[in-house]
Amino acid sequence: MPSEVKIFAPGTVANIGCGFDILGFALEYPGDYVTIRMISQNEVRINKISGKGVQLPMEPDKNTAGIAVIEFLRKFNIQTGVELEIQKGMKIGSGLGSSAASAAAALFGINYIFDNIADMGQLISCGLTAEAGACGSPHADNIAPSLMGGLVLIRSHDPLDVISLSFPEDLFYAVISPDIELQTRMLRKILPEKVPLSSAVKQWGNIAGLIAGLHNKDYSLISRSLEDVIIEPVRSQFIPFFKEIKSQAMQTGALGCSISGSGPSIFALCRGEQTAFNVSESMAEIYKKNKISFEVYVSSINKKGPQIS
């Protein structure tokens, strides 16, 4: 049994346009690092949080990485002491699955130390407990892709049914993350409780088209399907210059562009790395011009999930 391990787990883009609450993909970067260290005291504790999350709670039962480890140990009835050191690559509230990435890194690490006693379903289940503690709504569309890598469908939450989807090699993301914070809880509250059946039909037509397009490497179909008629119109109001950025991204050749998770980060999917770079630059121009600080990320979808660092 190793006594210490440091894990990188990726940030994630949840929803992917039309797939509210059921789709997400893993990023090559940014992501979080969590060091798990076995200690002689019989407790779970966090001894350091660095990077972009210094304001996060140090109490293990209020921190997603801490909750995830506590849940893991409880589930497998393990009495042990664990110290966590968290290095955040993303801020909480960025819409890039920051809380899920910390939980995924911690879970992958503690599972590695205990000889991979948990299967993927059990890890996701522990991660969901952590997500419920962190943002009030236990949705797997960040934790599942962060733990599994790739592009993931959460067909059902109860019972949990998670499927790795195939996608073309040449699919790249451009993500722009403005330096403002949005509250996931608030962004859930503003959603309508009911939606017109006609809009729901449009949405599920697009989801079906997106899955078929990804499987068939049909970029035109992917592009036509990356349209969210239900969530984006409501949430995009809270993201400065969303319309302008989306319009720029599409003009520069993006297949589609929408809100990452509940925002404020915005993602575009592109065919080829060069297009993704061009798109990221065109999106960045809008924020530069309007003096909003931001970060951009461009890469292919992360297929590996968490990695020992």
Catalytic, 59? Answer no
Nearer CB in complex with a copy of itself: 200/308 = 200
Binding residues for a copy of itself restricted to 213-252, rule: CB under 8 A: 215-216, 221, 224-225, 230
Residue of 137, 212, 251, 293 interacting with a copy of itself (CB under 8 A): 212
Residue 90 is a binding residue for a copy of itself (CB under 8 A) = no
Residue 186 is a binding residue for a copy of itself (CB under 8 A) = no
Q: Write down the least CB distance from residue 236 to a copy of itself, Å.
A: 17
Q: Write down the least CB distance from residue 32 to a copy of itself, Å.
A: 27
Residue 169 is a binding residue for a copy of itself (CB under 8 A) = no
Query: Are 272 and 191 within 8 A, CB to CB?
Result: no
Nearer CB in complex with a copy of itself: 86/221 = 221
| Window contacting a copy of itself (CB under 8 A); options: 64-72, 86-94, 110-118, 151-159 | 151-159
Q: C-alpha angle 272/278/279, rounded to 5°?
A: 90
Residue 204 is a binding residue for a copy of itself (CB under 8 A) = yes
Q: Write down the least CB distance from residue 300 to a copy of itself, Å.
A: 21
**Burial track 31-67 (b if 16+ CB lie within 10 A, e otherwise):** bbbbbbbeeeeeebbbeebeebbeebeeebeebbbbb
Provide the residue type at 254 as one letter: A
Query: Are 36 and 69 within 8 A, CB to CB?
Result: yes
Residue of 129, 203, 236, 265 interacting with a copy of itself (CB under 8 A): 203
Query: Are 258 and 15 within 8 A, CB to CB?
Result: yes
Site string (252-291) toward a copy of itself, x via CB under 8 A: ----------------------------------------
Residue 201 is a binding residue for a copy of itself (CB under 8 A) = yes
Quick one: tokens of 112? 């590695």
Residue of 115, 169, 194, 291 interacting with a copy of itself (CB under 8 A): 194
Give me the phi and psi of 15, to 5 degrees please: 80, -45
**Burial track 148-185 (b if 16+ CB lie within 10 A, e otherwise):** bbbbbbbeeeeeeebeeeebbeebbbbbbbbebebebe
How far CA 18 is from CA of 9, 73, 218, 221, 223, in Å, comes to: 25, 36, 17, 13, 11
Nearer CB in complex with a copy of itself: 194/291 = 194
Catalytic, 35? Answer no
Residue 193 is a binding residue for a copy of itself (CB under 8 A) = yes
Q: Write down the least CB distance from residue 145 to a copy of itself, Å.
A: 14
Residue 243, Cβ density class (10 Å: 0-12 exposed, 13-18 middle, ≥19 buried): exposed
Of the chain, the end-to-end C-alpha distance in Å amounts to 17
Residue 190 is a binding residue for a copy of itself (CB under 8 A) = no
Residue 155 is a binding residue for a copy of itself (CB under 8 A) = yes
Catalytic residues: 131, 184
